[in-house]
Amino acid sequence: MASSMQENGGFGVVQDNYPTIHKSPGEGGPTPNLADYEATRAAFSWDKIREELDGLPDNQGLNIAYEAVDRHVAKGQGDKIALRWLGKMGESREFSFDDLRRQTNRFANLLQTLRIAEGDRVFVLCTRIPELYIAALGTLKHRAVFCPLFSAFGPEPISERVNSGDGRVLVTTRRLYEKKVAPYRDILPNLEFVLLVDEEGGAIDLPGTLDLVRLMQAQSDEYTIGPTDPESMALLHFTSGTTGKPKGAIHVHQAVLMHYMTGKYALDLHDEDIFWCTADPGWVTGTSYGIIAPLLHGVTMLVDEPDFDGPRWYSILQEQHVTVWYTAPTAIRMLMKLGRDLAKQYNHPQLRFVASVGEPLNPEAVVWGQKALGLPIHDNWWQTETGGIMIANLPALDIRPGSMGRPLPGVTATIVRRLEGGGIEEVTAPDEEGELALKPGWPSMFRGYLHNEARYNRCFVDGWYLTEDLAKRDADGYFWFVGRADDVIKSAGHLIGPFEVESALIEHPAVAEAGVIGVPEPTLGQMVKAFVSLNPGYEPSEALKRELLGHARKRLGAAVAPKEIAFEEKLPKTRSGKIMRRLLKARETGETLRDTSTLED
Ligand code: AMP
């Protein structure tokens, strides 16, 4: 067993002495796809997974959108509901697999008309509206690259990503465009086409934009997917690091094997499932599991347009007969805050499997699931670079509350220690902390950071991919998250790079220097907090604080901007002049800093 206390990524110290939850696989539901962990791992091969998919007709390669949509139509499942969309005004729309096939064909034809070529980047900045899903899959059919942006990003994160991803096309809505893109068009010189959807269903007449809905109407329902090299770029997901600009992690069509395999084993998708992934496609979970994996399995996936709303969520579980639910720790903690009585007002006997990802899942949340939902919550772990779930509390395995679970079949994980002179050594003793490392070779492993080969190469040491997560493995092979090895922040499950926030703050004339950290917050996990020193002529005041918060929010958007700002006369720095975020964090959390040898004074 792991030690009885562990640090949890700045989330405070949690007790992990919750009893193991024993599972009776298949009780009250279908037999899990992975009923025997050891046997499935031993017999596993990626070739066998490939055989469960079809490939493009006439051996023309492997295309994610074909596997997700057209394949089911070809097998006579065209009338099955693929996507049930629930709008914020109470309306709903259903798309069968054949509807999706035709709509995504239209979108692919539209890209063809615009002379968008294979490998060109198509960015999508939308709230969760049907056009987002159609654009994503249509882009993949056309062999262009789907690059999602989170709709709560502000103009800076948007332009930064579109520019560094060489975006030629942007699909967005009128409101988002007017607020976050139109005033910045002059700094987006390579963006050629903006395809707009009007939120109210009206026609688009904005200069420099095209009316997506009208253009789609003029397109044909038929489109032949061209030969698709499984190693060709399909998805570009931006992720943040400690320093520098966000990095575009490249994923290829071959990743579909991982989406399929994890949908089968980690989410246990079965033919008749109604699956709901609450993640927004602006983040990797919302694409891999909010679009691709459920469609691959031919299940009905739900998309709910509005943001979190406790009673609404419970009623969706009940009324939509959700069977498999994939959500996130922040959402679960928000439900916990609303109380068990609210949970008990709803009935969802069809619900058989609940999983969560993105940040540490408190053991008490796992247990809360049992009491409030009647089911424990299965934590799992992965990251943008891995493209799919790597470690999970699998349906047939006992749950260790607080643990991320065990590696999926086809995945080899270990704990390593970086050596001073370079290189790494594996930590073989149980319960010892180190960095989580993965053996490269799974199909959805990222193939590069766009335009940043050196940074990509640094991720690999002695034949292992290093995740920058600190973790432990217990004697039974369960992995336990300890924290991040770097300074990135996880707030409400969203990965935020402190550098991006600091850069926006120092654009304000009052700010001389900024240091940004994540501070523990019971619901969000971490909250973005900025420490700033001021330029001569500026004095700390509540009014200036409000102004700086407003400035950051306008530039960065609500998802990224700091929630708190503190004034400092001077920020702690290393002797080489780098702001020591770790010291700011240690001061804030009352922890002692282990190594202060590089501190300036
Ligand atoms: P992202 O690339 O935005 O998906 O963020 C990936 C990071 O989120 C990981 O490297 C971890 O730091 C964190 N993370 C994801 N899943 C978990 C989990 N189950 N427990 C703890 N941290 C997690």
CA–CA gap between residue 143 and residue 158 (Å, rounded): 23
The yes-or-no verdict on residue 594 having pLDDT over 80 is no
Q: How confident is the model at residue 529 (pLDDT cuts 50, 70, 90)?
A: very high
Q: Check pLDDT > 50 for residue 11.
A: no
481 alpha carbon – ligand 1 mean position (Å): 9
Above 90 in pLDDT, residue 46? yes
Confidence band, pLDDT 50/70/90 cuts, at residue 29: confident
Measured from the Cβ of residue 55, the count of other Cβ atoms closer than 10 Å reads 17
Quickly tell me which residue has 């492997």 as its tokens: 62
**Is residue 559 within 6 Å of ligand 1 at its C-beta?**
no
Q: For residue 296, is pLDDT > 50?
A: yes
Closest alpha carbon to 373 in 416, 317, 299: 317
Q: Which amino acid is at 12?
A: G
State if residue 480 touches ligand 1 by the CB under 6 angstroms criterion: no
CA distance 14 to 364: 9
Q: Please identify, by atom number, the ligand 1 atom nearest to the C-alpha of residue 495.
A: 3
> What are φ and ψ of residue 134, in 5° steps?
-65, -40
With 50 as the cut, is the pLDDT of residue 356 above it? yes
- In this structure, are residues 140 and 119 in contact, taking their beta carbons and an 8 Å threshold? no
Strand order in the sheet with 247-252: 210-211, 193-197, 167-173, 121-125, 145-149, 233-239, 247-252, 448-449
* Residue of minimum CA distance from atom 4 in ligand 1: 383
Q: What is the mean pLDDT of the chain?
A: 94
Confidence of residue 82 (pLDDT cuts 50, 70, 90): very high
Query: Would you state the pLDDT for residue 241?
Result: 84
Burial class (CB in 10 A: 0-12, 13-18, 19+), 90: exposed
Q: Domain 57-238 carries which CATH code?
A: 3.40.50.12780
Residue pair 297/273 in contact by the 8 Å Cβ criterion:
yes
Is the shortest distance between the CB of 490 and ligand 1 below 6 Å? yes
Beta strands in 441-558 (DSSP E): 448-449, 460-461, 464-473, 479-484, 489-491, 494-496, 511-521, 525-534
Pick the residue whose CA is nearest to atom 21 on ligand 1: 360
Half-sphere exposure of 517 (CA within 13 A, CB side): 22
Task: Work out the average pLDDT over 392-401.
Answer: 95
Phi then psi dihedrals of residue 279, to 5 deg: -70, 150
User: What's the rounded Cα separation, in Å, for the pair 525 and 10?
Assistant: 8
* Ligand 1 close to Cβ of residue 491 (< 6 A): no
- How confident is the model at residue 321, as a pLDDT? 98
DSSP 3-state of 432 = coil
Eight-state DSSP code of residue 180 = I
Q: Nearest-CA neighbor of 267 among 311, 228, 314, 301?
A: 301
Residue 262 Cβ < 6 Å to ligand 1: no
What share of the chain in percent tops pLDDT 90? 92
Nearest CA to ligand 1 atom 8: 358
Residue nearest to atom 1 of ligand 1 (CA): 383
| pLDDT of 16 | 55
Q: Are 479 and 471 within 8 A, CB to CB?
A: yes
Cβ(515)–Cβ(581) under 8 Å?
yes
Point out which residues pair with 380 in neighbouring strands: 357, 392
Do 57-238 and 489-589 fold alike per CATH?
no
Query: Is pLDDT above 90 for 360?
Result: yes
CB of 253 closer than 8 Å to CB of 62 = yes
- What residue owns the CA closest to ligand 1's atom 10? 383
Quick check: CB of 383 below 6 Å from ligand 1? yes
Residue 358 alpha carbon to ligand 1 centre in Å: 4
Q: Is the pLDDT of residue 9 over 50?
A: no
The confidence band for 24, taking pLDDT boundaries of 50, 70 and 90, is confident
Mean pLDDT on 154-182: 98
Q: How confident is the model at residue 596 (pLDDT cuts 50, 70, 90)?
A: low
Mutation pick for ligand 1 pocket among 237, 470, 481 (CB with most ligand atoms within 8 Å)? 481
**Domain 489-589 top-level CATH class:** alpha beta
111 versus 579: the higher-pLDDT residue is 111
Q: Determine the average pLDDT of the residues in 223-231.
A: 98
Domain map (residue ranges) of the chain:
57-238, 489-589
The 3-class SS string of 438-466 reads ECCCCCCCCCEECCCHHHHHCCEECCEEE
CB-CB contact of 527 with 518 (8 Å): yes
Q: What is the DSSP string of 331-369?
A: HHHHHHHH-HHHHHT---TT--EEEEESS---HHHHHHI
Separation of CA 467 and ligand 1 centre (Å): 10
Query: How many Å lie between the centroid of ligand 1 and the Cα of residue 380?
Result: 9
